[in-house]
Amino acid sequence: MKNSIAENIRYYRKQLNMTQAQLGAIFGGGASLISNYENGYSIPDINVLYKLAKIFDITIDELVEWEDDDSDGIY
């Protein structure tokens, strides 16, 4: 799942024509914060995921590519 989150952050950031620095500034960080997310070095916590989803105007499920698949028996 880590790679899809990283790829999606990069994809949706670019859709908004934002730099890593611009997006990082929203979170009180810099380009390195977003770079770490986009390169899979770190994973945003749920609060950051929520804010990213709002910025990108998507759901958290879309951001993390979560699919509701009950075939594994876990709820």
42 is a domain residue: yes
Question: Distance between CA atoms of 31 and 60, rounded to whole angstroms?
Answer: 22
CB 23 within 8 A of CB 54: no
Query: Residue 54: which CATH number?
Result: 1.10.260.40
Is 73 contained in some domain? Answer: no
In a domain, 74, yes or no: no
pLDDT digits (tens, 9 = 90+) for 2-24: 578 999 999 999 999 999 999 99
The number of domains in the chain is 1
**Residue 46 lies in domain:** 2-65
Stated pTM of the model? 0.83
Q: Give the pLDDT confidence of 37-64 residue by residue, as tens digits.
A: 999 999 999 999 999 999 999 999 999 9
